[in-house]
Chains A and B, each alone.
Chain A
């Protein structure tokens, strides 16, 4: 059942601007770093060892990818929910023989999958940029993958929150503003907030230097927020 709902969700966003955004996020991040490396090649590249070059590149890419992910998840969530809001189609969607719970889960999964695609795209794009800049030696695939997927998993509470807010509020101003504020808070959360603040998790920094703690906490809280949102949506009257 879930699969069929998901496939109908994908059908709804066929040939929509959403796909452009999903691709533009990672491409924009890597392109900006390409410009950055192009302009400051001497400073960033010349005379450094290969391992340092790759880790530097990965660090630079994720520095930009984090805010892009944090605000991108708000935009994607708003766009996926916006389809029903714009056409006033919640009634129609929910009149189908599906459970409200499943519709909500479908929206959340769609948002999460689209963002997963974005994060996945970061890997080949970063590799391509590294190779284009002439980095030789072994490509650190492990680091690349952790830097693409750990922040994504740690940002799960925000994906769930934005999916919930966007679905439940017809006016998208508030969800999007919350998303933008969230992005800005998370950018400056690094050294300033204690470890329990979720906005810090996507940066994967914590007192015990174990990124997996942030990831675990993110997935766990994400699940909680998702269930809370689902409970609210099931009780909600749609207009």
Chain B
């Protein structure tokens, strides 16, 4: 398995991926620098909600799709699937490694955003102690909430040869977020809205679906993750390459 990770690493090492990882944190940084208020009772959490709204509502779900499509690109162009599966590796391993790579790239994105948030905080001179617990639960929660999306996007990316097709699926399912997060009825059950619901600090900005307990959200996340992952894995195991 380690060797497979290394081979995946070689494929993405010098690619535009790293640019993508930085895109959302950079935009969030601009938002934070220009719009974050210095006053307020909870400067850190206010900056967090300000910077993570865009990130969690749109960038995170959309980037998940880009990452998944991206790590399948090398295999789709030039018969890479055949070459890869001709090696002494099982399809399950291949699929799991690809999935883990997507999740690692998402983790890098989250980590970078966290760093940017801290930098913005220091640059603006927030005097409050850093609320590590809230920050950790927000960033980790957002990351975990991406599990089902990553599973589904990997499924679609493996299935379609074209780069844009899986992204089209992704966009069609992500855009409703703009309406869905405001709805207390649908929001908690819509997988694409979960990153946002998990990331926004819930005590101060509770409206719509944001008030729901974490257990409900993560029940939905893990449930849909299992469904999507098993479906994708079963498809890939049978797929003629």
Contact = CB atoms under 8 A, between A and B. Distances in A.
A86 B77 contact: yes
Contacts of A82: 162-164
Interface residues of B, number: 33
B27 A176 contact: no
B175 A171 contact: no
A68 B168 CA distance: 10
Interface string B167-191: 1100110011011000101100000
A184 interface: yes
B167 A176 contact: yes
A180 B175 contact: no
Contacts, number: 84
A219 B83 CA distance: 47
B73 interface: yes
A169 to B, nearest CB: 10
Given A75-B164, A78-B163, A184 B59 contact: yes
A28 interface: yes
Interface in B49-86: 54, 58-59, 62, 66, 69-70, 73, 77
B20 interface: yes
A24 B54 contact: no
Interface residues on A, range: 20 to 34
Interface in A38-60: 39
Given A32-B176, A180-B58, 15 more contacts: A17-B168, A35-B179, A64-B175, A64-B179, A68-B171, A68-B175, A78-B167, A82-B164, A173-B15, A173-B66, A176-B164, A177-B23, A183-B58, A184-B27, A184-B58
Interface of B: 15-17, 19-20, 23, 27, 54, 58-59, 62, 66, 69-70, 73, 77, 160-165, 167-168, 171-172, 175-176, 178-179, 183, 185-186
24 contacts: A17-B162, A17-B168, A28-B175, A39-B186, A64-B175, A64-B179, A67-B175, A71-B171, A75-B168, A78-B163, A78-B164, A79-B164, A79-B165, A173-B15, A173-B20, A173-B73, A173-B163, A176-B163, A176-B164, A177-B16, A177-B20, A180-B58, A184-B59, A188-B54
